[in-house]
Amino acid sequence: MKKIKWEMIKEGILDWLYPRHIKCIFCNEELDENSHNDTCVDCLSKLPFIKSPCPRCGGERNENNDGVCLNCKTNNFDFSIARSVFVYTDDIVKVIHKYKYNYLKYLSEPLAGFMTDYFATSDLSVDFITAVPLHENRLKERGFNQSELLARALGTKFNIKYLDLCVKIVDNSRQASLGFAERKANVKGAYKIKGEYKKTIKDKTIMIVDDVYTTGATTSEIARVIKDAGARDVVVFTLAHGQGDGQSEEVENKKDK
């Protein structure tokens, strides 16, 4: 009870400090009738939308061909495809970090709005939505799972049921920046499916939602666990894509101490 009260007070203060739907979430300028997802027209025109995604991991392809990107040629993922809205640039990172590290929970609305826009015209077709779970220690500290809020908003918008499918059983957040292979070994066994969902997901396609795609190792491990439990296919959808080069992971891990 005490905790709920404090949460409400905290949200009230944050609402007062950062009034919603009035200022642009990127540049803090006043919004007008042409703004979209709480973003002003000027910022909308500069957002780093992914234009030519790798068919496998969804990152912006720098190579001049139609095949998969270099990372996907060497990494073996357990999800079939991943898609992201934005390239992981400084502007995007700033807003995502405000959302999860400054606890500005209301930013889930406009950020989910960009994911909604993307999903509506994407090649993603799924039966259920879930999110990358936080370890309970982290959830207690932050008060919300940033990926779950995005996932639930998508589910509500497209009438796809959200499943609280997995739990993180190992608190391995304090780790050095690792490449895909090391990271893959490091997250192995960190996630578990809740037994009661095994029947529900049998032969279904599940979409895992996360805020940032770093190396793909975490979502790949969760995909493996979900498929082992009987799902037919797993796809991944994130707000931003760090191009799988490990740099985005370094930033996220440092912040995620």
Residue 22 makes contact with Zn ion by CB under 5 A: no
Question: What single-letter amino acid sits at 85?
Answer: V
Residue 184 as a binder of Zn ion (CB under 5 A): the answer is no
The residue count for binding Zn ion (CB under 5 A) is 12
Instruction: Return the number of the residue (85 or 190) whose C-beta is nearest Zn ion.
Output: 85
Cβ atoms of 209 and 238 closer than 8 Å: yes
Take residue 51 and report the two structure tokens written for it: 């234009």
CB of 223 to Zn ion, least distance (A): 15
50 binds Zn ion (CB under 5 A): no
Q: Which of 37, 50, 53, 69 binds Zn ion (CB under 5 A)?
A: 69
Q: Which of 39, 44, 64, 41 is nearest to 54 (CA)?
A: 64
Toward Zn ion, which CB reaches closer, 124 or 134?
124
Each as own residue / partner, the long-range contacts of residues 227-230 (CB below 8 Å, 24 or more positions apart, any chain) are 227/78, 228/193, 229/193, 229/197, 229/198, 229/201, 230/198, 230/201, 230/202, 230/203
Rule CB under 5 A: say whether 81 interacts with Zn ion: no
**Contacts of 98 by beta carbon, 8 Å cutoff, 6+ apart:** 104, 107
57 forms part of the interface with Zn ion (CB under 5 A): yes
* Residue 72 interacting with Zn ion (CB under 5 A): yes
Residue of the chain from 38, 43, 114, 208 that contacts Zn ion (CB under 5 A): 43
Nearest-angstrom CA–CA distance, 231 and 166: 13
Closest approach of Zn ion to the CB of residue 161, in Å:
29
Decide if residue 26 touches Zn ion (CB under 5 A). Answer: yes
Structure tokens at 127: 């039966």
Instruction: List residues binding Zn ion (CB under 5 A).
Output: 24, 26-27, 29, 40, 43, 54, 56-57, 68-69, 72
